[in-house]
Structure 1
Amino acid sequence: MSLTTKIFLAIAVTAALVIGTMSLLVALSMRDGFSQYLLRGELARFDRLVDELALAFDPGSPGWPQLAHDPRAWHEFVRSHFAPPGVPELREIAGDPLLIAGRLLLLDPSGAPIAGAPPRTERYEQRPICFDGDCGTEGPLGYLRLNAASLSDSASDAFFIRGQYASLAFSALVALLISGAAAFVIARQVLLPIKRLEAGAKSLASGDYSERIDLDRSDELGDLIGHFNTLAETLARTSRAEREWISNTTHELQTPLSVLRAQIEALQDGVRRADPETLAEMHAAQMRLSRLVQDLKILTYAREAEFVADLTRHDLVQIAAEAVEVARPALSGAGIDIVCAFPDGLDVSCDRLRIAQVFDNLLQNAARYTDAPGTVRLTIRRGDGLAQVSIDDTAPAPPNDVLPRLFERFFRAEGSRSRALGGSGLGLSVSKAIIEAHGGSIAAAASDLGGLNVTFTLPEMQS
């Protein structure tokens, strides 16, 4: 069965059960209520009989001994005092006195039977018997109980009940039809957005990420539609990033490969000789290609659990000092001074080789994009359970509008920060991947030295 059919049947069957149960309860209540109504109406006609019983009561011999255990005397008493003489219509309405006497029961004040028929049903009505109709001073002398008659005793009563049952059945049928119509409408209202989600999911599965669903609901299905649209937007953005990634990777790989190819073909054609200068150019192209492949590999496996497998306690200050000593000759050769401000020691849990790679990338980036004479400042401080590392350089500075994009793959801020020294545009992306894999964060901002400030944090290990 379709989901529409299932929802429709669930609502319709539930409504049918509720309506059927209510109809049954109403029918039973109607039957009992009608019996009680008839009993009250009948018992109200026994004023004369109650008065005669009060007059026949002997305080010296309470309990109507003349009627006790004598059905014939009781029947004759009821026959004599059932209805006022000369009122035949009352007799016709109330019925045969013998039949009435067969349903009457005389009780003493405690409720013990004195005369009359034993109870035949659980439904009855009774009224007290008092002197002059006043039971307030001495209490009732006894009670007159009228047992309920079977509905089949009166054709008119049975006809009335059948009519009420027919009306109730018709009302239940109308309620069922209305419930069925409501179930159909509700099922369609629930299923329409689901069908739109189904069509949208098929579009996404086929590779079309442009599908969007109108958000015209504020319930849980509306939330689901919103999540679907967010997913579609994310997939579209990821698809665009993937195409750009492949295009940029191809472009970046093409440059060193073209250089190597040109050099090799020149050697083959005899245009150039395998002198130290040519070999150095080929080696530089090969190293650039190797670094690019290594960076691509790091970014590819950045989300893998084994990416930072060697997480042990290391002194971040020592790692930074070693990176500075490695980078100092290249910085000095480019006319750039490096200034460091380190604490005595700061332990973090990290993969030493990866964090050293971050320092190398950031220092190389500062050296590549800082004009001589210039300065690079490396600062390490602790605070709020974090180790904070800041690398600042002097001019030039990237425009403020490109700062949020500096960590994108292959992105370069053209113009103010030169590309003359090359670079794949992956250094900051690799650094971001490594820092985030360690549970830290990294950000770029304008530096107070006039260039770029790159700051990253790592959780500090407590001693």
Structure 2
Amino acid sequence: MRFGISTRLFLAILATSALTVLLVSGATRWNFERGFLGYLNELAVERMDTVLPRLTQAYAQHRDWAFLGEPSRPWYKLLRPGPDEPLPPGGLDEALPPDLTGALSRLGLLDDRQRWVAGYRSIDMTMQHRAVVVDGRTVGWLVLAPFQSVADGGDQRFAIGQWRTTLVAALVAVLLAGLIAWWVSHRLLAPVKQIAAATHQLTRGQHDVRVPVHGSDEVAQLGRDFNRMAQTLARNEEARRAFMADVSHELRTPLAVLRGELEALEDGIRPLNQAAVSSLQGEVRQLGKLVDDLYDLALSDVGALTYHMEPVDLVDLVGRTSTTHARSFETAGLQFTLKLPDSAAAVEADPARLQQLFDNLLSNSRLYTETPGQVTLALSAAPGSWQIEVQDSPPGLPIEQLAQLFERFFRGENSRNRATGGAGLGLAIARNIVAAHGGQIEARPSPLGGVSIRVKLPRLETAS
């Protein structure tokens, strides 16, 4: 039989409380009996001290102990004060201490040779004893047999009453502990059960499930973390579906064009000439670039994109990249401006990946900038880093869309769309490359009216 966590917690708290009560009760009883027996023996010693003067006086009167064997039972008379005996300053209470314990019945008398004379028989000189001295000579010994347990004394009923009281208190304590354990197990674990139930729903794909959160303790923090996790999973699921839809769309478009071109060639509608082959190669290149971008993006997402770090001069790299793109800007009817510092700009980087980064940034501006327009690439120094900024002219993007610019397959509405642009993967790849180099990338409105992409890469400190 398997118990739930509430039942197990309840039983654990109840068992711990019950064990604690039993240990405390046992220790209390043991300590009570030890202390109570000591108290009984102290009372008995006081009683013995009040009897000793009478024994001394009786021996001085009779000159031996033979009178104790008379039928009149003089031994028991000696244990109590006589009517003519003067009382001590404390009165009758001091002369006759309470004997509810039965201490008098445990007093015995030995003669000067330590032979039993009267009273309690099971006595010896190892017990509490007092010498009976007459005329400077020890004529006998008054011996007290100690109490070995509470049951030996007249106060057994008192001890039983104490034990019963302790038992009742223990039962009440266990009952209260059970009630508290039940309350704690249900009150404390109720939100945990809610989180467990919500987790089962989450595993079944219900990403909209949330748990109520109350308070600020660890359980409440767990609930908040669960809600954030569910929200993140919901966003990831939406992104996955959007990604699959975008990939399908991006792959379908060039494949549809290729299929149409091939069918036209097959039916003889279009002649097989250089123009037809060039058109087919263009669609294949676009499809190949999309596949390559998806592959690079997948590798960069999981950190598997290889990087070979070495000192790189950004002035030289940016200059060579700009030269490569200058002709394409001119062909697109765009004015391209390059601004470089006079001195070297050293960074620790993979030159091939930085080349890919700059290619993506410049290609993005060339594809989305309307003609006639202008694009500016500037390299400048910033505190602790080198800053590369690409600015273009209209069209721009609304402020709220700039933060989405680095998401995969994102393309702004209206003019910045697929009609003029690519698949929307270049800036997502650029973001991952910058992150792998310990840098930062951000998008903001351009002073030229379009979009400005700013990249910061850590400087490489060289020895002077």
Q: What TM-score, normalized to structure 2?
A: 0.78
> Structure 1 pair 98/399, CA: closer, same or farther in 2 (3 Å)?
closer
User: Is the Cα–Cα contact under 8 Å of residues 411 and 424 in structure 2 kept in the other structure?
Assistant: yes
How far is 1:218 from its partner? 2.7
The alpha-carbon distance between structure 1 residues 437 and 48, as it changes in their structure 2 partners (threshold 3 A), is: same
Which one is further off, 276-285 or 89-98? 89-98
Report the Cα distance in structure 2 between the residues aligned to 1:152 and 1:419, rounded to whole angstroms.
102
- Counterparts of 1:261-300 in structure 2, within 5 Å, are 261-300=259-298
**SS of 1:302 mapped into structure 2:** helix
Alpha-carbon distance in 2 for matches of 1:11, 1:232: 33
- Name the CA distance, whole Å, in 1 between partners of 2:296 and 2:105: 108
CA contact (8 A) 2:365 2:392 kept: yes
Per the alignment, residue 165 of structure 1 pairs with 163
Aligned to 2:422: 423
Shift of 1:200: 1.9
The CA distance in 1 between the partners of 2:235 and 2:309, in whole Å, is: 33
Shift in Å at residue 191 of structure 1? Answer: 3.3
Matched residue, 1:59: none
Cα distance change, pair 283–120 in 1 and its aligned pair in 2 (3 A):
farther
CA distance in 1, matches of 2:126, 2:391: 105
Give the distance between the partners of 1:362 and 1:459, measured in 2 at CA: 19
Secondary structure of residue in 2 paired with 1:307: coil
1: CA distance, partners of 2:452 / 2:109? 110
Question: How far apart, in 2, do the equivalents of 1:195 and 1:318 lie?
Answer: 62
**RMSD of aligned Cα (Å):** 3.7
Choose which of 20, 25, 28 in structure 2 pairs with 1:26: 28
In structure 2, the partner of 1:240 is: 238
Counterpart of 1:162, as a letter, is: I
Distance 2:305 2:450 in 1: 32
Residue 422 of structure 2: SS of its match in structure 1? coil
Match of residue 17 from structure 2: 15
Identify the match of residue 83 of structure 2 among 79, 82, 85. Answer: 85
Matched-pair contact (CA < 8 Å) for 2:364–2:421 = no
**Hey, what does 1:142 align to over in structure 2?**
none
For 2:42 and 2:104, the matched residues in 1 are separated by: 17
What displacement does 1:403 show? 0.8
Q: Which residue of 1 aligns with 2:334?
A: 335
Distance 1:120 1:6 in 2: 55
Kept in 1, the 8 Å contact 2:48–2:144? The answer is: no
Q: Distance in 2 between matches of 1:36 and 1:102?
A: 22
Q: Which amino acid aligns with 1:191?
A: L
Q: Structure 1 residues 199, 43: CA separation in 2 closer, same or farther (over 3 Å shift)?
A: same
Amino acid of the structure 1 residue aligned with 2:11:
L
Contact 1:46 1:82 in 2 (8 A): no
Of stretches 333-342 and 75-84 in structure 1, the one that deviates more from structure 2 is 75-84
- The change in CA–CA distance for 1:91 and 1:117 in structure 2 (over 3 A counts) is farther
Q: Distance in 2 between matches of 1:17 and 1:198?
A: 32
Moved more, 241-250 or 371-380: 371-380
Q: Do residues 364 (structure 1) and 366 (structure 2) align?
A: no
Q: Any conservation in 2 of the 1:396–1:450 contact (CA below 8 Å)?
A: yes
What is the identity, as a one-letter code, of the residue corresponding to 1:27? Answer: R
Identity over the aligned pairs, expressed in percent?
A: 31
Number of residue-to-residue matches in the alignment:
415
Please give the alpha-carbon distance, in whole angstroms, between the structure 2 residues aligned to 1:459 and 1:211: 43
Report the CA distance between 1:377 and its aligned residue.
2.0
1:61 maps to: none
Work out the CA distance in 1 between the residues paired with 2:210 and 2:372.
54
SS where residue 306 of structure 1 aligns? coil
Flag the 1:264–1:37 CA change in 2: closer, same or farther, 3 A.
same
Distance 2:320 2:190 in 1: 64
> Which consecutive residues of structure 2, in runs of 5 or more, have no partner in the other structure?
69-73, 86-91, 111-122, 130-142
| Superposition deviation, residue 234 in structure 1 | 1.0
CA gap of 1:147–1:400, structure 2 versus 1, over 3 A, is farther
Partner-residue secondary structure (3-state), 2:389:
strand
Where 1:395 maps in the other structure, the secondary structure is coil
SS at match of 2:457: strand
Extract unaligned runs of 5+ from structure 1. Answer: 57-65, 104-115, 125-144
What is the DSSP-based 3-state SS (H/G/I as helix, E as strand, rest coil) of the residue aligned with 2:453? strand
TM-score (norm 1): 0.78
Tell me the residue number matched to 1:398. Answer: 397
Whole-angstrom distance in 2 between the partners of 1:367 and 1:238: 31
Which amino acid in 2 is paired with 1:16? A
Q: Report SS of the residue matched to 2:304.
A: helix
- What residue is the counterpart of 2:140 in the other structure? none
Counterpart code for 2:203: A
Aligned to 2:8: 6
Deviates more, 1:413-422 or 1:227-236: 413-422
Which structure 2 residues correspond to residues 15-414 of structure 1 after superposition, within 5 A?
15-38=17-40, 83=81, 85=83, 93-94=98-99, 99-100=106-107, 120=127, 149-150=147-148, 151-155=150-154, 157-333=155-331, 334-414=333-413
Match of 2:445 in 1: 446
Deviation, 1:390, is 1.2
Conservation of the 8 A alpha-carbon contact between 1:101 and 1:117? no
**Structure 1 residues 40 and 321, CA, compared in 2 at 3 Å: closer, same or farther?**
same
The 1:255/1:148 distance shift into structure 2, 3 A limit, reads same
The corresponding residue for 1:132 is: none
Contact kept? 2:391, 2:446, Cα under 8 Å: yes
Residue by residue over 1:5-49, the C-alpha shift from the partner in whole angstroms, topping out at 9 and shown as x without a partner, is 432332222212211111112112322343455466667778977
SS in 1 for 2:353: helix
Q: Is the 8 A contact 1:303 1:437 kept in 2?
A: no
> 2: CA distance between counterparts of 1:441 and 1:231?
26
> Higher mean Cα deviation, 434-443 or 81-90?
81-90
Question: Aligned partner of 1:265: which letter?
Answer: E
In structure 2, what residue type is equivalent to 1:312?
A: E
1:379 match: secondary structure: strand
For 1:288 and 1:447, how far apart are their aligned partners in 2? 29
Letter paired with 1:172: A
- Letter of the 1:24 counterpart: G
SS in 1 for 2:269: coil
CA contact (8 A) 2:47 2:96 kept: no
Q: How far off is 1:360 after superposition? A: 0.7
1:338 and 1:378 in contact (8 A); partners too: yes
Check whether the contact 2:369–2:395 (CA below 8 A) recurs between aligned residues.
yes
Q: Spell out, residue by residue over 1:180-214, the C-alpha distance to the aligned partner (whole angstroms, 9 max, x if none).
A: 23223322334333332222222222222122111
Contact 1:48–1:84 (8 Å) recurs in 2? no
How many angstroms apart in 2 are the aligned matches of 1:198 and 1:147?
69
